[in-house]
Chain A
Amino acid sequence: AQSVTQLDSQVPVFEEAPVELRCNYSSSVSVYLFWYVQYPNQGLQLLLKYLSGSTLVKGINGFEAEFNKSQTSFHLRKPSVHISDTAEYFCAVRETSGSRLTFGEGTQLTVNP
């Protein structure tokens, strides 16, 4: 069975600082990996995804993530955050042969002025 662990429940940063949100997964088979963002009182939106190929994936709003198979990680990064990036971020994994998406517990990113 697949599982996802987001290592930080809350990450406070100052505006224009870099940020990394950490995600580790567990699966015995090959997987697809995703990061979703949830703004207050809204549903989840896809930020980026890794399917295959280049391990560095670029998403919307200047975010990127790197797939590291040996460390089973898929950390999300942004070199300079904005106040508007304040939201909850979810890492998710799905086995390539499956249809069930498993989410991590979420990381609340708070960007302070």
Chain B
Amino acid sequence: DAGVIQSPRHEVTEMGQEVTLRCKPISGHDYLFWYRQTMMRGLELLIYFNNNVPIDDSGMPEDRFSAKMPNASFSTLKIQPSEPRDSAVYFCASSLWQGSGELFFGEGSRLTVL
């Protein structure tokens, strides 16, 4: 399997622009997670889905952030409008419910908002 695939790997944008991050989970996994990693706050869970349905979005910082999972093989995290404090590495991870529910992470999308 190719693993969790994220795009873009790097994104540099101007404040106020819309940013869309993409994720393809491992085939067959029924959970998908979006995390944000910064030096100040470490790894934060933003939102997670089960069978394409958002289960917990309490970690989404504010209304500028939205996430969708239109089907089992694709998810997006959108920031509109973006701000410099959104600069971070955004990780997508997927897992199977059965067993330990080990998370498999993508390589991340590094976002820089100028």
Residues of chain A touching chain B, judged by Cβ–Cβ distance below 8 Å, are 32, 34, 36, 41-46, 49, 51, 90, 94, 99-106
Contacts and interface: CB of A to CB of B under 8 A. Distances in A.
Contacts, number: 52
Given A94-B101, A106-B43, A99 B107 contact: no
State the majority secondary structure of interface residues on B: strand
A105 B30 CA distance: 27
A9 B107 CA distance: 23
Nearest to B9: A41
B100 A43 contact: no
Contacts of A90: 43
**Most chain B CB within a 10 A radius of its CB, from A34, A42, A44, A51:** A44
Contact of B102 (A34, A100, A102, A106): A34
Given A105-B42, A106-B42, A99 B50 contact: yes
Interface of B: 4, 31, 33, 42-43, 45, 48, 50, 55-56, 91, 93, 97, 99-108
Contacts of A102: 45
Nearest to B92: A43
